[in-house]
Amino acid sequence: MKLPIEFVNRMNEYFSSDSNVSSEGFWESFDSQAFRGIRLNSIKTDRSDFSKVVERMGLSEKKVPWCEGGFYVEDESMKTGRDPYYLAGVYYSTEPSAMLPAQVLGAKPGDYVLDLCAAPGGKACRLGEDLKGEGLLVANEISEQRVKALLRNIERTGIRNAVILNENPDNIARRLPLFFDKILVDAPCSGEGMFRRDPSATKSWEQYGPESCQVIQKQILNATDLMLKPGGEIVYSTCTFGLGEDEEMVLDFLKDHSDYEVIAHPEIEGVTHQKEGSILPGAMRIWPHISEGDGHFCVHLRKKAIQEADSNDNIPELRKTKKRSDHFTYNQSREAFLSFMKDILADNDYEEYENYVNKFYVLHSDKIHLLPVDERLFDRLVVVKSGDFPGEIKNTNTGRVFVPSNCLALTLNYEGIRKDSILSMPREDMRVERYLKGETIIANEEENKVLKTKGFVVVCVDNYPLGFAKKTPDGTFKNLYPKAWRLV
């Protein structure tokens, strides 16, 4: 592979000055096959069952050592984008090294977490999974085009407590100062670690150079500081090798922000940890000639706590208001929604869901949202999605009805759905592909004995929800899988 001469010279200088990392095999790695990986979704699959799911998918059980739930994909013929398990959110397809930053940040239930440069969404999805439905995930992407993929991936994962923004980091910092417990900055970079995966990236590198990225990275880190609570944590990561975008960028930040310290992590298999005496002790790298992954840099920072001040004082004290739609009152719309859910969920799960709705219910122009914080926190910000969006209220000839969104199905658990409201088919059943293509499907005789005569049904693959269909008395289903998501 032909590499930019400036890049070659700089990396040779790096290896000659760092005796802890050998250059042997580094240049050859650019001509080797890039690794593929998947990360299983802990919302949909219990971590104790990860190996069983991988076996069911016909994959090897070769684990990514730096990520719980990460596995290598060694079958080059596997097309994840058309796999029903992928479309059900059972797993996320990603480059193995990209799994490290969210693992290092370690979001906990109840945290307020921000993924500042989130598209396409692999790291944000992992953070949302780790929250276990408690706290808040804000996933931001400044690109209007890339935020669409972020939205799709978060919906597919089944994360309820996420707000998706399409904003400049400075705007978020002005609106939400000292708000977040943890922030992930997977910064825009020159992408040197991705050269072997995308050879065209070298042309971009030659055209713009790392220096243009460094200006943006510094601005992003400064905005990040304004949003982080005292005692909070940042993970800064890139997929590049250059010191100017990695260690030196962080050192400059630490020089200007003396209230931060590096959090050193215990040794992680496959990850090179920088020791005392190196340029940035505690920083971590994945090298393509040492580990099975593309080049990656990662460092974990903590903002020192201020005992005499409570950072929550900076969060606006807001009370939820009952927003009314143009056509239906707040209570009427909620009753229509809950009536639908009562017909779908088993009794015990319905009671739990009703409490969830009553706690987080918000109505916007007949569209229902379930949001764990006051929506006015995000005033003057470009909001792409505000929390859980189960569906909307529509006026029909038969009265007020709730029409579910497809992402509602993706948040449901098979065990909590009424058995007469589930059509679950094995992965190899041809009806699964027909459903994903938007075609009509038909229940067999045994399924018809269990299913309701008519009404909404959750369509599943091996008990993982894919979406909704509407059953008719003759056993056929009107396909409600969104047109924009259908296989072609």
Task: Report, as residue numbers or ranges, the catalytic residues.
Answer: 239
Measured CA to CA in angstroms, residue 323 lies from 229, 338, 380 at distances of: 30, 18, 18
Which residue from 384, 260, 239, 300 is spatially nearest to 107, judged by alpha carbons?
300
How far, in whole angstroms, is CA 234 from its chain's centroid? Answer: 17
CB atoms closer than 10 angstroms to residue 453: 11
Task: Spell out a b/e string for 283-306, using b for 16 or more CB atoms within 10 Å of the CB, else e.
Answer: bbbbbbbbbbbbbbbbbbbbbeee
Chain centre distance of CA 90:
13
Q: Hey, which residues does 396 pair with through a beta bridge?
A: 399
Give the ranges where 4-111 is alpha helix by DSSP (H). 5-17, 26-29, 50-56, 84-87, 100-105
Given a contact cutoff of 8 angstroms between Cβ atoms, the answer to whether 250 and 281 are in contact is no
Distance of CA 149 to the CA centre of its chain: 10
Contact criterion met (CB below 8 Å) for 342 and 382: no
Q: How far is CA 21 from CA 1, 127, 257, 270, 404, in A?
A: 22, 31, 29, 13, 54
Helices (H), 347-444: 347-360, 406-411, 430-436
Cβ burial 205-217 (10 Å sphere, 16+ → b, else e): beeeebeebbebb
Take residue 89 and report the two structure tokens written for it: 């959110």
What are the C-alpha distances in Å from 317 to residues 19, 134, 287, 376? 53, 20, 46, 10
Q: How many CA atoms lie within 13 A of 84 on its CB side?
A: 26
Tell me which residue has tokens 């027909």.
Answer: 434
Token pair of 229 as six digits? 């609570």
Please check whether residue 295 is in contact with residue 336, taking contact to mean a CB–CB distance below 8 angstroms: no
Q: Are strands 260-262 and 228-238 parallel, antiparallel or unpaired?
A: unpaired
In angstroms, the CA 455 to CA 480 distance is: 12
